[in-house]
Each structure stands twice: as C-alpha cells, then as structure tokens.
C-alpha cells in the first residue's frame, strides 16, 4: 500500500493566488481528515469526511478555505485567495472509518504533508 | 469536545526511561486512547492504543488508570532517534491533536 498520498509536497505562491492541495487516501478507508500545522497552533483539524460526506468543517478558518471529496479516492483543499498567514504544513489523513458500535481506536494514517508558503 | 492536555516539552538523556502523561478529562466511555509520534518534516505516526490498564508493543508502553482520565506513554531507554513530538489526540470521529509534547533526547 502506498499510504496516503499528498501533492504538491511544496508550494510557494503569491498572496491572492488560488492554492489547491490534493490527497489520495488509503484504499478502503472511509474517513478523511485535513489538518493544518503551525508552530504556534500545533496540529489543527480543519475538516473531516465520512464516506465522502463532510461531517464537521468547524475548523475551517474562513470562507477562503473549501474542501471537497468527489469520490472515495480523492480530496482537495482549496484556498482562494491565499494570504501570508495561510503559510503552514497541511496534512491529509485517512482512517478505516467510524462504525456506530465500534471497538478499538480510530487509527489515522497521515500523508507526508504539503508545505505551503504564501509570499 | 474531547480535548486532551499534555506538557509542551520534555528533555531526557539517552538511555533513560521517559514517561509522558496526558489528561483526558472529557473522554467518552467507548473512546480508546491513542498516541502518535511525529518526526520533523513527516506526518504523525500511530504508535500505540489502549482502553484500560497496560498495553505494551515493540515501541512503547501505555498505562491507563481505572478512571481513564489520564494516560502515560512510557518509552524505555530512549535514544537520540526518539527525539520527536508525541501526541495523545482526543475524540473518536473528530480527532483533535493540539500541540503535543516535544521530547528532546540529549546525548
């Protein structure tokens, strides 16, 4: 298994430009998460999906941020327009899912991250 | 919201045992406790999970008291390669990580 695949690994852009980050979760995983990591705020949950449906987007900082999951094997996180304060590492993670009556932990597998720099 | 609390940083010498404690004040009855490890320029990696008492694997041990309001990750005889950030996330569906504990192993 190739694990969770994110692209691009690095992105440098200018303020005001649109940024699209991509994620391919592990095949068979039903939950997908987007996180943002900065020194000051640590690892923040932005949004998560179950079975391609957004469940909680309360962590999305502003309307400039949007996320989609058109199918089970692909998700995007878009920032439009981008600002310097959006500079961070963005991680995508997937997990097998969250059955209603579960036993065991919801173990996440993370991608390598996308480092975004907005000038 | 299942929020956890852990120390921001810890230092340890090589060869010592390191214990990192996490508070799980709002843990739900069915939630398992998990710990992750993150090296620089990598995503967090799952290392251990437990529900009650003690769990041990090839990487670490996890101690969970009966009231499950806290957990302790134990790393035996740490080496320089154990320098990393360690997280005890909260929540089951909505998994929140926070800032973690930055462990610095000193030669």
The pLDDT profile of chain B, 107 residues, written as one tens digit per residue, is: 668 999 999 999 999 999 999 999 888 888 899 999 999 999 999 999 999 889 999 999 999 999 999 999 999 999 999 999 999 998 888 899 988 999 999 99
Smallest Cα distance from B30 to chain A, Å: 8
Residue A104 confidence (pLDDT): 73
Contact B2, B95 (CB under 8 A): no
Percent of chain A scoring above 70 in pLDDT: 94
Residue A99 confidence (pLDDT): 53
Would you call A108 and B45 a contact, using CB atoms and an 8 Å cutoff?
Answer: no
CA A116 to chain centre: 13
CB contact A88 to B (< 8 Å): no
CB atoms within 10 A of CB B67: 9
Pairing label, strands A10-13, A114-118: parallel
Residues of B in Cβ contact (< 8 Å) with A104: 32, 49
DSSP string across B31-51: PPEEEEEE-TTS--EEEEEES
Distance in angstroms (rounded) separating the CA atoms of residues A69 and A74: 6
Residue A102 confidence (pLDDT): 55
Closest CA to A105 of B93, B1, B58, B43: B93
Residue B1 confidence (pLDDT): 63
Residues 6+ apart with CB under 8 A from B105: B11, B12, B13, B14, B78, B79, B80, B81, B82, B83
pLDDT in single tens digits along all 119 residues of chain A:
789 999 999 999 999 999 999 999 999 999 999 999 999 899 999 999 999 999 999 999 889 999 999 999 999 999 999 999 999 999 999 999 765 555 678 899 999 999 999 99
The widest CA-to-CA distance across chain B, in whole angstroms, is 41
Smallest Cα distance from A108 to chain B, Å: 7
Would you call B97 and A31 a contact, using CB atoms and an 8 Å cutoff?
Answer: no
């Amino acid at each position: 298994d190739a694990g969770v695949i994110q692209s691009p690994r690095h992105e440098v852009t200018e303020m005001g430009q649109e940024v699209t980050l991509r994620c391919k979760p592990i095949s068979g995983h039903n939950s997908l998460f987007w996180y943002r990591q900065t020194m000051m705020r640590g690892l923040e949950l932005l949004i998560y999906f179950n079975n391609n449906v957004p469940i909680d987007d309360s962590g999305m900082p502003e309307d400039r941020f949007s996320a989609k999951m058109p199918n089970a094997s692909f998700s995007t996180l878009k920032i439009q327009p981008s600002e310097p304060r959006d500079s961070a590492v963005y991680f995508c993670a997937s997990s097998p899912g969250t059955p209603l009556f579960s036993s065991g932990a919801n173990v996440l597998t993370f991608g390598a991250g996308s480092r975004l720099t907005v000038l | 919201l299942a929020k956890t609390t852990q120390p921001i940083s810890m230092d340890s010498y090589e060869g010592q045992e390191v214990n990192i404690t996490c508070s799980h004040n709002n843990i739900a009855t069915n939630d398992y406790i998990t710990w992750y490890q993150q090296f620089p320029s990598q995503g967090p990696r799952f290392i251990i999970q437990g529900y009650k008492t003690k769990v041990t694997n090839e990487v670490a041990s996890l101690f969970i008291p009966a009231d499950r309001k806290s957990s302790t990750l134990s790393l035996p005889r740490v080496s320089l390669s154990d320098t990393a950030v360690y997280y005890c996330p909260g929540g089951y569906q909505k998994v929140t990580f926070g800032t973690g504990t930055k462990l610095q192993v000193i030669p």
